[in-house]
Amino acid sequence: MSIQTTKAERDAVEGGSRRLILDTAARLLRQGGYHQTTLREIAEAVGIRKASLYYHFASKEEIVEAVVNDGVRFVQEAVVAALQASEGAEPRVRLESAIHAHLTALHGHGDYTSASIKAFAFGAMPVPDSVRRVRRAYEDVWRLLIAELQAADVIAIERSPEALRLFLLGALNGSTDWYRPGRFDIPALAREFAALIAPRAGRAMSD
Amino acid sequence: MSIQTTKAERDAVEGGSRRLILDTAARLLRQGGYHQTTLREIAEAVGIRKASLYYHFASKEEIVEAVVNDGVRFVQEAVVAALQASEGAEPRVRLESAIHAHLTALHGHGDYTSASIKAFAFGAMPVPDSVRRVRRAYEDVWRLLIAELQAADVIAIERSPEALRLFLLGALNGSTDWYRPGRFDIPALAREFAALIAPRAGRAMSD
DNA sequence: AGTCACCTACCGTCCGTTAGGTAGGCGAAT
DNA sequence: ATTCGCCTACCTAACGGACGGTAGGTGACT
């Protein structure tokens, strides 16, 4: 005898059960990774029975896949947007804003993106093709930016661009292990990181 | 008196069952992380029944703890040794050799160290106190080195040392996600990484 | 005799997944 | 305007199997 509503109405108000499930799964995946996170946990947190998840998704892996892809795509969109917004600016500024966008998306968006990193490490053997594709697309964004930085000699041309990319993305994604909202300030962190690999002093001045 | 195969002797020759179990556990933990790795798997790989593991260890967590601590300690010893060996040398050289030691230990030592990182990532257990202590001790090694680098102005004094430490260790440990023995060369990688955060800027130096 | 290093057999719990049922909203036919 | 069948979104109940862990036995060696 509650104020019951139709599916369409509830979807409009609360975003749909599917979204709610994914939001919840993202939160739990972020905390516990793939194997630690169980369907029972997800179902309980959502407020339905575990079997009901199978109405919305075919399997656990489908849920995880959806969360992970959403997460990576969100980060990519944020970084691409930041790069577009800073088009034409100094390469160093563009680097900093890309790092800033990555960190913001990583720690700001509701758990999806952190979850995607935690859940990557799963030895749950086959990383799905869709995940691999989405990831690679994001990597390409950074390959482009790094090429730009080297063309502008902000990063020495003799440095390996792949080593830099792996180094940088590793460092950024590693922040999920230590970043806590109060302890650090993302803009400051982005400034620090950008300055570390592309300091203002040195080559640009002496050359 | 047949061929003397006392416990002590067999331990000396074949390393002991305990070591064999830990070696195996390390390999599996590296591949699969905490939850994916089961006692059955470990036992089977070792060649004994799962219950026999309980003769050597009290629980799964005790096995994991031993592996992880061994791993971190091994890396620490390698890095400390590298720093002692390069005492008095240019700070930049010391940085590179520390990075080199870390990467070598991480990917060279039989799975222990990679395992320690993988097993950390999943918020599996309440990280045991012993693990926390061992980790912190290792972090201090880097804090010292970074202070030295900043004192020598190899890294700008205004950079946050904690940000640098987190950045650098994150990048190094992230290598477990992408490093494959054939694809990269550790000395080259160490040179790249060291050059990225401490470029030979300002004055030209011979290689 | 006693210890060591392993064994077989089994425990209760939780896993992902499936089968099948049901309350209520819906458009179409009566 | 009511009935009908269908669809949605959940439910209860149970499946086989894998999990970490325990009890107690056994043969080899000291």
Burial of A192 (C-beta count, 10 Å sphere; 0-12/13-18/19+)? buried
Distance C7 C1' – B52 CA (angstroms):
8
B122 touches strand C (CB under 7 A): no
Which pLDDT value is given to residue B130? 82
Which pLDDT value is given to residue B112? 79
Q: Chain B partners of A124 at a C-beta cutoff of 8 Å?
A: 36
- Residue A100 above 90 pLDDT? yes
B51 touches strand C (CB under 7 A): yes
Q: Chain A partners of B166 at a C-beta cutoff of 8 Å?
A: 171, 174-175, 178
Q: How far apart are CA A21 and CA A48, in angstroms?
A: 10
Task: Read off the pLDDT of residues B90-140 as tens digits, 9 standing for 90 and up.
Answer: 999 999 999 999 999 988 876 777 777 666 654 555 677 888 888 899 999
- Residue A28 above 80 pLDDT? yes
Identity (one letter) of the amino acid at A138? Y
List bases in chain D with any atom under 7 Å of a protein Cβ.
Answer: 8-14, 18-24, 29-30
Which pLDDT value is given to residue A7? 43
Least confident piece of the model among B6-10, B14-18, B42-46: B6-10
From residues 27-66 of B, list those within 7 angstroms of strand D by Cβ: 37-41, 50-51, 54, 58-61
Q: Which domains does chain B show, CATH number per domain?
A: 7-197 (1.10.357.10)
Q: Do A163 and B196 touch (CB under 8 A)?
A: yes
Mutant choice from A34, A35, A162, A179 vs B, greatest count of B C-beta within 10 A: A35
Phi, psi dihedrals of residue A94, rounded to the nearest 5°: -65, -40
Q: How far apart are CA B27 and CA B67, in angstroms?
A: 10
Q: In the structure, how many helices (H) and strands (E) does chain B have?
A: 10, 0
Residue nearest to nucleotide C6 (CA to C1'): B52
Which pLDDT value is given to residue A149? 95
Which pLDDT value is given to residue A118? 65
* Beta carbons within 8 Å of A7's beta carbon, 6+ residues apart: none
What length is written for chain A?
Answer: 207
Calculate mean pLDDT across residues A110-127. Answer: 66
Task: Read off the pLDDT of residues B164-192 as tens digits, 9 standing for 90 and up.
Answer: 999 999 999 889 888 888 888 999 999 99
Following DSSP, what letter does each residue of B83-136 receive, concatenated? HHHTTTS-HHHHHHHHHHHHHHHHHHSSSHHHHHHHHHHS--S---HHHHHHHH
From residues 137-156 of B, list those within 7 angstroms of strand D by Cβ: none
**Contact (CB, 8 A) for B117 and B175:** no
Q: How far apart are CA A147 and CA A169, in angstroms?
A: 15
Q: Which of A31, A167, A206 minimises the CB distance to B171?
A: A167
Task: Read off the pLDDT of residues B143-169 as tens digits, 9 standing for 90 and up.
Answer: 999 999 999 999 999 999 999 999 999
**Contact (CB, 8 A) for A147 and A133:** no
Task: Read off the pLDDT of residues A39-54 as tens digits, 9 standing for 90 and up.
Answer: 999 999 999 998 999 9
B130 touches strand D (CB under 7 A): no
pTM: 0.83
- Residue A203 above 70 pLDDT? no
Which pLDDT value is given to residue A29? 87
Distance D25 C1' – A156 CA (angstroms):
70
- Residue B83 above 90 pLDDT? yes
Mean of all residue pLDDT scores within chain B: 83
